[in-house]
Each structure stands twice: as structure tokens, then as C-alpha cells.
Chain A
């Protein structure tokens, strides 16, 4: 009886596991794609470029790119595999780049394959390239693998730079939410070097607007509770400038009457460290003035940005979601028509925590 049980169990593990159809993918016998880019050709076709690192024994990394044109991205992989000695696998993809041209059409169709593939993580970074996406991947630079480089670049800009948190999961979440529109970082290749320039805003899946330099920081503050190593400066008066850094901000919404035309209050609580001040050693009173000026500056920038977003009829801040959570009878279409007409009021509470290590 016992022998039978043992036999049965081992047979089960033997035969049933054969049905799982898992094929070995031995690490050094595959090409691990770390980044993929998509470029627009025409309505149905696109060019796809994958970059895979070749690790040389002397610890150098050679980035090899494969390019293929197709209408379905898995089909692309087949075409790429025809060019290489080892099969290409997509499980380690860190970054997916789309050209602006492609983003202007529909990105949702493109991200579908990423979401469907279980080997691709939800934390993959997506980005829009201002120009040809291929260019970012093709040029060899530095001694690092391209995908890792790009993902590190985006990551540190999220942690302490201008980018709000973004990845595949958040992108599709924002897209699928009824009161929210997605956004992605935007990269501009300059001599092949990728430079993160701002945020691309989408209306559903379609690219509509690219934030300007002065909008980046306030955009991040409005989107999420964040901390920021970067600073920003404001003109306080004639020849009087102050700049702050180590900003941490907290955003909260106050919606007294949701789903009406009544104003929506956005409260922004900002804490920062004074880094540069052209005037004399600031005392409490001066600091209070600086805080006031900063508050005014931020309020202006924020309200300007929100008006712009309303004009574009996109809602990357997720105001719709905020309203939805406060409304019993939420109506998507009603909100859509309501959104551009709502007056927003931004209240900034700016606090300077310390004024530096000056005697």
C-alpha cells in the first residue's frame, strides 16, 4: 500500500509536470532583452528594436540591437530570432520606449502585449521618446547595459527628481480608471544620450501634451506625495533670489460639493531647505517673506498648469478619481463635461525647515 502511494506520487510529479510545458532557459544560452523600442511606420506597422547585452569575459558589456518591422510585437520576436544565435527572451525587459509619433496614435494597443506576457513584470518603465525611439537604443555608450542604464536613469529621477512614479502598472491603472488619464516620462535623445525632459500627458491612450521645464516640479507635487532632491528658485524682489531644495510635499484634496461646478480645493503642503539666498542672513521675518513668496509662486504655477490640463481635457492628476470616491452616483460622461468648467483653487503651505549652515 505504501509502496503504491509512493509510486503514485512520484508518477504524478513526473507526468503531470511534463504537462506544464516549461522549457529550460539556461541563463547563458539565451539573449536577454533589456529594452525595446517601437517606432511608427504607418497605421498598421511599426519598427521594433530590442537591445540585449552581451557580457564579455573582461566585464565589458556590448549592447547588441535587433530590429524588425511588423504589425504584432510577438511576430517581431520571431523576426529578431532569425537574426541571432540565441533565442531572445523578454523576461528581463526594464524599459519600453515608444516614439512620440506612435504615442500620438494609440499606445494602449501597444502595451497590451506587455500586460499579457506573464514574464514581463508590471514594474517595467514605459517612456515616450521625443524623436526616433530607435536612436536611444542603437548608440553604444558607456560600459553598461542599455536597459539597465535607462531604467536606472528613470528610477533615480522618480526617487529624487522631476518624475512622478510611473510604470506599466500605473499606466494601465490610470488608463482603466474612469477619472484619470495616464502619463509617461519623456526622453529626448541627444547624440544618442537619453535626456529625461519631462512628462508626456495622454488622453486615454493618445499623447497630447508634453510638460515644459517649469511645470515638471509642480506636476510631480500635484500628482503624489513626494520628496525631491532637486530644487527650484523664485525671484523675491529686485536682485533678490531664493532657491530651495530637499523639497517634500504632500497633496490633499478638499471637494466640498463633488460633481458640481463648485470649486475644488487642492491643499499643497511643502517643506524645504533654503539653499541659496542672495540677500543678507535671513532672520525669522525674512524667512516668512520667502515662504510667502514661494507659496505665491507655487500657487501660480499650479493653477496655470491645472487650467492648461482642463483646456486639454486630460486629467493626469486623477481629480476625477478624487471626485468619484466622494460621489455616490458617479457618471463618467457627466464628469467629462464638467471637468473643464470646475474652478480650482490651490492652497500652498510652504515651510522652510532650515536655512543652511551659514554662521
Chain B
């Protein structure tokens, strides 16, 4: 990890404890008071906004041995397991900043005792909102890393579950935890991820998505390469498949990787229901995605170039719906697609209650009014609305965004050279997908390269008894 300028200067000058405390006192929420013992004066200092004052008043002050002569004796009787003895002033500073109480002897710069007393202010574990499922566990991750680790560890009470914690961010000093199960997870992946995370040179890590974006193999690809989930049960399940899980303190979402394309269409509910239904729902999702990407471009292509392709009974409907519309199909489609994006964006930015109103205004009023005004054809309105709806069927939110975005190049190509353009765009997309790797593994696995063993849990899900083997792609190499 890189050193920060102020840290460097601290170390080069090796300031005394007093100087460190003096610097910290410039903050108004820093408290420092003294307690007398036999010969010396103990200086107790902490950030009152970071610590749990209960610990100070209940567990620390009453047990301080005021009759002892040394610092060591004074803290002997403290009912706290987490006592740190340090001689480095920098250590004191760093720990004070994450909620420790330091006890030093005034005028003596040899040693300091650090007492962990950080207040655990955190949301309680609540229902998953993004990945809600009717059946199955209803816990979701919260912003506290320790709580999250607890949620996962209690599902995997084995010693092979290893947790690696790294600190990232010059300013945020975020704790990033890397979880894997020894012996199942590919060790190469673990070291790759550790390498990439520790190489990060950033100021702040606000959320786990920062990590996902920065350690991805193909950073410019619109396709997400780590699955982002708020369900601890899903994380625990994939750990057992030999994947890595990355948790970031302060982020209520965990990352899991290496992820393949088909896994983005996997909901954890798929495993809670009978395999026949789960397979059907998965196929529906894949169909929905293809539909969502292709249907508007195909509409534009056919209406602009290939009227021959229309069944004779459909021409009537389409011609009537298009009659009197002053725009070419591409403009019509683009405007409607943008309107849907506007609605989604507005709905996402507004509070829930207002968001609903926007949905009604957008969906019903704008939709019907624009058809009645003769600005758009009602057939296209149905198509665009359906394709937007279909894009929301993906269980992973980011994938839905990707699908809505890659529709636009398809649209332009469809307008430009018709169905051929759609085919060319599809080829480009396929080539891109084939080129993506996540942590060095092909993104399209197990579709390409084909892995029969992993196909059992890809486009369809076979009964759980068939899935006892780990997917072939995650075997240790």
C-alpha cells in the first residue's frame, strides 16, 4: 500500500504521544482528560463521536487501578479483552481515528494502551429490497462489515472459510474483506484479487461497486463482471461453489466473482423452488433479454426496409397504427425509448411515493396521449413498453441497465441497413462477450467453451441432487 504524505512525515519525525494528541485536539470532538494514579497522571483520550461512551464509563473508568504505579498495572484489571500496547505514536493516531481509547502516561512517551471502544452504530439486518424473494431467507446485508461477515460465517461454520481484510483508500481507509473457502476456491483467483485490490490507488471507496469497477478484467465493457448481491445466503452458496466474495465496510452489497453471463440471470429463488419451475423461469428470463434487445430494432428494420417479411394479416394493423405519423420509424422508436429511460431515471431519483405518480403520469398519460395525438404508433408503444419490462426481469440490477443500453446501437444499425444491421450488431455483441474474461475465466462459460457439467445449472436448473458436484469451471487448477 502506498504511504500518504502526512503519514510519512509523521514517521520520519517520530513525534511523541503528546504531539499526536496535541494535533488531534484541534478537532472539537476530541476529548482528553487526565486521571491521577500513584505517581503519574494518566491521560485518557478519544474521539467522543467515535466511541461507545458506555464502554468508557462502565468498563474502563471504574476498573482503573488508581493505586498502581505503572501504566501496565493500572490497566491490568480492565474487563476488556482488546488491549493493545504500543510504542508507536502513529499507531495511536490511527487507532484513535477508528474508535479506540488511548491511555498514556503524561510526560512519558514509552508506551500507550489502546482500548477498543468503537460504537457499533448500524442498521439492523432487514429484508432484502432489490433481490426480494417470496420463498427463502429474508436477511440482507447491512453497512457494517462485521455484521455482514457474521451473516456469512454463521452459514458456513467451517475453518476453511478464510477472511482476508485489506484497507483501501487514502481518505476513507475502507476495510475490504475477501472471503473464500480454502481448497474449493482457485488460489490463483484469490491472489489475483488481493493483488488488484492492494494495487488500487484511490482516495475513497464508498461502495463495493467501486471495487467491482476497478478490478474488472475489461473495465470498458458495459457488461458487469462481478455479481452484486445483497443476499448473504447467495454469497454463502457461491462460496461453496468456489467463488470469491468481496465485502466492503459501509456497503450493503457484496460482490462475487468470477461471474459468468448466465449467472446474471440466476435468481436465488431459482434454488428454492422446484427445478421444473426454476428452469422455466430461467428460460423466460433469457427469452425476455433477447426480446428486450432485439424487438425494437427488428420493428424499425422491418418497417423501414423489409415490409415483405410481415405476415399478410399483420400489415393491416401496422399500417393503421403508423398512418398519419409524421416521423420515420427510427425517430419514433428513439423518442419512445428515451421516454422510457426518462421515466425510469425520474422514478429512480424520486422518493417512492412521488415515483409512483411519475409512473402513472408517464405510463398512462404520456403513452395514450401521444398515441391519440398521432405522434407514435400504438404498436410501437406496446413493443417499447414490453421490451422495457423485459429488461427488468434480470435478477441483477446492473445487467438490466446493460441490456437497456446496448439496445441503442442495435437500433441505429437497424435503421441504417435493416435486419442485416441487427445481425451485424448481434455479431459484435457476441464477439465482445466471447472476449470478456472475469478473473481470467471466459465470460460465456459454460455456453462457450461448452462445459457439460456446468450446463446443468445454467440456462436451466436440474434437480438439486444433480448439482452436488461443483461447476467444472471453478475447480482448482
Listed in ascending order, the chain A residues whose CB lies under 8 Å from chain B are: 13, 17, 20, 22, 24-28, 30, 32, 34, 53, 55-57, 59, 61, 89, 91-92, 94, 119, 121, 145, 147-148, 151
Contacts and interface: CB of A to CB of B under 8 A. Distances in A.
A236 B318 CA distance: 55
B322 interface: yes
Given A26-B303, A26-B304, A27-B322, A20 B329 contact: no
Contact of B329 (A26, A32, A145): A26
A61 B316 contact: yes
Interface string B417-433: 11011001000000000
A169 B206 CA distance: 67
Contacts of A119: 308
A24 B323 contact: no
A123 B310 CA distance: 14
Interface of B: 302-305, 307-308, 310, 312-313, 315-316, 318-320, 322-325, 328-329, 416-418, 420-421, 424
Contacts of A34: 312
B322 A92 contact: no
Given A20-B417, A55-B320, A27 B303 contact: yes
Secondary structure of the B contact surface, majority rule = helix
A311 B316 CA distance: 48
Contact of B312 (A13, A55, A56, A92): A92
A30 B416 CA distance: 19
Given A27-B318, A147-B312, 20 more contacts: A13-B424, A17-B420, A17-B421, A22-B305, A22-B417, A25-B307, A26-B303, A27-B302, A27-B315, A28-B319, A32-B315, A53-B316, A57-B323, A59-B316, A59-B320, A61-B316, A94-B312, A121-B308, A145-B316, A148-B312
A28 B325 contact: yes
A92 B329 contact: no
Contacts of B307: 25, 27, 30, 32, 89, 91-92
Nearest to A93: B308
A17 B417 contact: yes
A119 B307 CA distance: 10
A162 B318 CA distance: 34
Given A57-B320, A59-B320, A92 B417 contact: no
Given A57-B323, A89-B307, A22 B328 contact: no
Contacts of B417: 17, 20, 22
B370 to A, nearest CB: 17
Contacts of A17: 416-417, 420-421
Contact of A24 (B305, B320, B324, B424): B305
Contact of B304 (A25, A56, A61, A147): A25
A154 to B, nearest CB: 13
B328 A24 contact: yes
B424 A27 contact: no
Contacts of A32: 307, 315
A22 B305 CA distance: 8
Contacts of A56: 320
Given A17-B417, A20-B417, A92 B304 contact: no
B322 to A, nearest CB: 4
Nearest to A89: B307
Nearest to A148: B312
A181 B81 CA distance: 102
Interface centre among B302, B312, B323, B325, by most A CB within 10 Å? B312
Contacts of A89: 307
A20 B308 CA distance: 18
A53 B316 CA distance: 9
Contacts of A92: 307-308, 310, 312, 315
Nearest to A54: B319
A94 B328 CA distance: 27
A57 B307 CA distance: 19
List the 6 closest A-B pairs by CB distance, nearest first. Answer: A91-B308, A28-B322, A55-B319, A27-B303, A17-B417, A24-B304
8 contacts: A13-B424, A25-B307, A26-B304, A32-B307, A57-B320, A119-B308, A145-B316, A148-B312
A275 B323 CA distance: 50
Contacts of A27: 302-303, 307, 310, 315, 318-319, 322, 329
A11 B418 CA distance: 18
Contacts of A147: 312
B329 A55 contact: no
A25 B325 CA distance: 15
A271 B416 CA distance: 55
B134 to A, nearest CB: 43
A77 to B, nearest CB: 16
A57 to B, nearest CB: 6
A258 B254 CA distance: 79
Contacts of A22: 305, 417-418
Contacts of B308: 91-92, 119, 121
A111 to B, nearest CB: 19
Nearest to A90: B308
A92 B319 CA distance: 14
Contact of B316 (A55, A91, A121): A55
A92 B304 CA distance: 15
Contacts of A121: 308
A91 B308 CA distance: 5
A50 to B, nearest CB: 15
A145 B324 CA distance: 20
Nearest to B312: A148
A53 B314 CA distance: 13
A55 B304 contact: no
Given A26-B304, A91-B307, A55 B323 contact: yes
B217 to A, nearest CB: 16
Contacts of A25: 304-305, 307
Nearest to B416: A17
A32 B322 CA distance: 14
B222 to A, nearest CB: 15
B379 to A, nearest CB: 11
